[in-house]
C-alpha cells in the first residue's frame, strides 16, 4: 500500500509582483485504493492544490510538505513525480500541436516506466484501453488536444490513466462542458483503475454531479485555502442540497 501525505501545505502565487498566499495550511492523507473528493466554491484554491502537487512553477510552496511513501515530492521535478507514480490531469490541458495521441502516449509511458514499452504488448494495451473507453481507433492519430471536445479531453485523460498505471491520480474537474456520457467515461475509468491497480484518487470538483458516478469515501470541503470540514459521502449530499453558503458565511 502507498500513501500520499500532504502536511500543513502553504502555497503562494505572485501576480503583478504581488505575492498572495492561496493555500494556508492544508493537511490531507490519501492511501491506495481510496477516493477523496475535494469540493469547494470557486476561487477557494482547489486547482492551486492540484498544480502544487503537479509541481507547476507558478505555484510557490512556502511551507509544509508533500510526501509519497515518505519520499519528498516537493524535491522532485515534474517528470520525477510522474515516475514516482503521480498522475495529474489538469483542468485546462494544453495543446501539443503536431504530436499524435499515439506518440504522446508512448512517450509518456516510456518516461514513466524508464524504458519503452514492448511494441506488440503496447499496441494491444492501447487498443484494449481505447475499446474500454469506446473510442474510435482514429482518435490515436489526432493531434493531442487539437480541437478536442470536452468529452474527448476526458477520454484522453482517462486513456492515459489506464495506460500509465499510476499509484495516485489527481483529477481536477470543472465538470462544465461534460455531458453525462463523459462523466460516465471518467467514473468508469477511475473505478476500473481502482479495481485493477488499487489507484488512490483525489477528485477535485465544484459540483456534486460527478459524485453520483464516482463515490468518494472521504469528502473535504475547501474554503479560502484550507479544509473547512471533512466527512463521508453524506457531506457531498449535504452540499448538493445546501450549497456552500454555510461555509462562506462561517466566521463572519
Residue 18 contacts ligand ADP per CB under 6 A: no
Which of ligand ADP, Mg ion, none interacts with 200 (beta carbon under 5 to 8 A by kind)?
Answer: none
User: In sequence order, what are the beta bridge partners of 169?
Assistant: 87, 201
- What's the min distance (Å) between Cβ of 245 and ligand ADP? 16
Q: Determine the Cα–Cα distance for residues 143 and 141; give it in Å rounded to an integer.
A: 7
Contact footprint for Mg ion (CB under 5 A)? 8, 25, 46-47
Picking from 209, 204, 191, the residue whose alpha carbon sits closest to that of residue 36 is: 204
Which region among 37-45, 78-86, 114-122, 231-239 touches ligand ADP (by CB under 6 A)?
A: 37-45
Residue 13 contacts ligand ADP per CB under 6 A: yes
Which region among 46-54, 66-74, 110-118, 138-146 touches ligand ADP (by CB under 6 A)?
A: 46-54
Say how many C-beta atoms besides its own lie within 10 A of residue 40's C-beta. Answer: 25
Q: Determine the Cα–Cα distance for residues 112 and 221; give it in Å rounded to an integer.
A: 32
Residue 48 contacts ligand ADP per CB under 6 A: yes
With contacts defined by CB under 6 A, how many residues of the chain interact with ligand ADP?
A: 12
Using CB under 6 A, pick the residue from 40, 55, 166, 216 that binds ligand ADP.
40
Residue 220 contacts ligand ADP per CB under 6 A: no
With respect to Mg ion, which residue has the nearer C-beta, 25 or 93? 25
Residue 43 contacts ligand ADP per CB under 6 A: yes
- Binding marks (x or -) toward ligand ADP, 187..206, rule CB under 6 A? --------------------
Which of Mg ion, ligand ADP, none interacts with 44 (beta carbon under 5 to 8 A by kind)?
Answer: ligand ADP
Residue 62 contacts ligand ADP per CB under 6 A: no
Contact assessment for residue 219 and residue 231, using Cβ atoms and an 8 Å cutoff = yes
Q: What are the residues binding ligand ADP (CB under 6 A)?
A: 13, 15, 22, 40, 42-48, 58
Amino acid at each position: 500500500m502507498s500513501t500520499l501525505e500532504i502536511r500543513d501545505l502553504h502555497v503562494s502565487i505572485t501576480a503583478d509582483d504581488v505575492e498572495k498566499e492561496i493555500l494556508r495550511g492544508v493537511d490531507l492523507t490519501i492511501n491506495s485504493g481510496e477516493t477523496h473528493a475535494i469540493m469547494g466554491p470557486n476561487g477557494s484554491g482547489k486547482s492551486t492544490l492540484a498544480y502544487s502537487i503537479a509541481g507547476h512553477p507558478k505555484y510557490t510552496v512556502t511551507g509544509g510538505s508533500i510526501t509519497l511513501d515518505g519520499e519528498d515530492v516537493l524535491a522532485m521535478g515534474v517528470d520525477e513525480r510522474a515516475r514516482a507514480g503521480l498522475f495529474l490531469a489538469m483542468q485546462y490541458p494544453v495543446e501539443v500541436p503536431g504530436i499524435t495521441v499515439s506518440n504522446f502516449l508512448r512517450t509518456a509511458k516510456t518516461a514513466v516506466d524508464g524504458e519503452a514499452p514492448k511494441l506488440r504488448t503496447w499496441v494491444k494495451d492501447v487498443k484494449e484501453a481505447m475499446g474500454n473507453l469506446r473510442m474510435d481507433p482514429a482518435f490515436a492519430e489526432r493531434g493531442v488536444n487539437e480541437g478536442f471536445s470536452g468529452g474527448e479531453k476526458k477520454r484522453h485523460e482517462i486513456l492515459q490513466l489506464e495506460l500509465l498505471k499510476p499509484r495516485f491520480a489527481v483529477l481536477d474537474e470543472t465538470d462544465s462542458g461534460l455531458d453525462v456520457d463523459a462523466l460516465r467515461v471518467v467514473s468508469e475509468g477511475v473505478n476500473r483503475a481502482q479495481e485493477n491497480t488499487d489507484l488512490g484518487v483525489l477528485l477535485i470538483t465544484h459540483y456534486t454531479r460527478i459524485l453520483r458516478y464516482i463515490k468518494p469515501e472521504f469528502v473535504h470541503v475547501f474554503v479560502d485555502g484550507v479544509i473547512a470540514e471533512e466527512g463521508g459521502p453524506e457531506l457531498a449530499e449535504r452540499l448538493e442540497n445546501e450549497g456552500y453558503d454555510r461555509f462562506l458565511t462561517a466566521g463572519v
